């Protein structure tokens, strides 16, 4: 079985009827790229840059960040590397950045919201990403977006950074792709609006579940309610991919939450129309195997049926049975 997965490494993630899917890895630091390459990931769908900040006793300099981003980009000369800007706040704090205690930290000053408050910190990171972008296919992704206004605000700051670099005669990829995480229900519901300002979406099911179902993703006492197969979640995913399908060539929707690496979800997510799955490296071969063994048209019909079911359990059961039938 291990041998079989090993053999998959250099094969494409393509369905029997020819739909190509991009399988990429989630990483937290440059050292993680080895695992992604070893397991056949063609790029990085989520680079969680907060570890660069958390594993440091002071704000990481532009140079330090540039070196980290560059090394990841150089590991994937062909594939995309989606660098997510700082997602701190919520449960994550930085020792050198004083932050007020909040009653509801997950609804408070987190991720992009914090970056808008700490513009210098944000610009340092954006400059580092831009400068590294000439070494590969960098994509910038903003976390915790709830409206198009925030995307525009982030892009204004990004273009200020570009102008600075122009003045300093430093190079960057002028056509760098800009995308957002879809992890707040408002962003999923208004995906068609937000899509006007971006090149791609990546669905973050970890937070999307937490916020849609009003279930703290860390609280064991309510974890029985935390269900990515809940029909409400599937309908939000569908709404996002439906928007994506109407966009021009090149627009894509990925998923980088835990659900993307769950082999039990692969058939369903394929059928819902995802273009890219980003997951921990070890999950890549199994998901690839599933994608290569089914027809997209069957997956689509299965997802369509699932969308009309009543509960997550029913849906999970149905997906499991459908997989057995197809094999």
Closest distance between ligand PEP and the C-beta of residue 200, in Å? 14
Nearest residue to 306 (alpha-carbon basis) of 295, 297, 296, 318: 318
Binding to Mg ion by residue 207, rule CB under 5 A? yes
Q: Which is nearer to ligand PEP, 92 or 295 (CB)?
A: 92
Binders in 113-132 for ligand PEP, by CB under 6 A: none
Confirm or reject binding of residue 257 to ligand PEP (CB under 6 A): yes
Q: Are strands 200-203 and 252-255 parallel, antiparallel or unpaired?
A: parallel
Looking at 261-311, list the stretches that DSSP marks H as alpha helix, in order from N- to C-terminal side. Answer: 266-272, 284-292, 296-306
Residues in the interface with ligand PEP (CB under 6 A) total 10
Element (H, E) at 80: strand 80-84
Least distance between Mg ion and beta carbon 141 (Å): 11
Task: Decide whether 173 or 207 has the Cβ nearer to Mg ion.
Answer: 207
| DSSP H stretches of helix in 76-118 | 112-117
Is 209 catalytic? The answer is no
Measure the CA dihedral 291/249/239/276, to 10°: 30
Q: Whose Cβ is closer to Mg ion: residue 22's or residue 183's?
A: 183
**Known binder of ligand: residue 48?**
yes
Instruction: For residue 289, give both structure tokens.
Output: 């195997």
For ligand PEP, the binding residue among 133, 146, 205, 212 (CB under 6 A) is 205
Give the nearest distance from C-beta 304 to ligand PEP in angstroms. Answer: 24
Per CB under 5 A, 204 contacts Mg ion: yes
70 is annotated as contributing to ligand binding? no
What's the token pair of residue 141?
Answer: 């992704």
Q: Check: CB of residue 229 under 8 Å from CB of residue 316.
A: yes
**Residues of the binding site:** 48, 84, 183, 206-207, 217
- Residues with catalytic function: 256
């Amino acid at each position: 079985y291990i041998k079989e997965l090993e053999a998959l490494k250099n094969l494409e993630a393509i369905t029997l009827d020819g739909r190509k899917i991009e399988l990429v890895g989630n990483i937290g630091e440059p050292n993680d790229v080895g695992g992604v390459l070893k397991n056949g990931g063609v790029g990085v769908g989520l680079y969680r840059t907060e570890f660069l900040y958390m594993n440091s006793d002071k704000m990481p300099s532009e140079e330090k960040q540039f070196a980290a981003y560059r090394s990841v980009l150089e590991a994937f000369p062909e594939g995309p590397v989606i660098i997510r800007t700082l997602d701190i706040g919520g449960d994550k704090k930085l020792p050198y950045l004083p932050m007020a205690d909040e009653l509801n930290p997950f609804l408070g000053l987190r991720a992009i919201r914090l970056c808008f408050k700490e513009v210098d910190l944000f610009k340092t990171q954006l400059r580092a990403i831009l400068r590294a972008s000439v070494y590969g296919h960098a994509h910038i992704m903003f976390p915790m977006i709830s409206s198009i206004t925030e995307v525009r605000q982030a892009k204004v700051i990004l273009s200020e950074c570009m102008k600075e670099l122009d003045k300093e005669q430093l190079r960057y990829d002028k056509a760098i792709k800009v995308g957002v995480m879809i992890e707040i229900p408002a962003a999923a519901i208004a995906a068609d609006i937000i899509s006007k300002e971006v090149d791609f979406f990546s669905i973050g099911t970890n937070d999307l579940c937490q916020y849609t179902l009003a279930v703290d993703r860390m609280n064991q006492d309510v974890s029985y309610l935390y269900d990515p197969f809940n029909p409400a979640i599937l309908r939000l995913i569908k709404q996002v991919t439906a928007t994506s399908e109407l966009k021009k060539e090149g627009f894509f929707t990925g998923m980088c939450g835990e659900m993307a690496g769950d082999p039990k979800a692969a058939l369903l997510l394929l059928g819902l129309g995802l273009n890219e799955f980003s997951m921990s490296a070890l999950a890549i071969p199994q998901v690839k195997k599933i994608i290569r063994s089914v027809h997209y048209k069957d997956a689509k019909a299965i997802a369509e049926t699932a969308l009309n079911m009543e509960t997550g359990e029913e849906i999970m059961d149905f997906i499991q049975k459908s997989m057995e039938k197809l094999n």
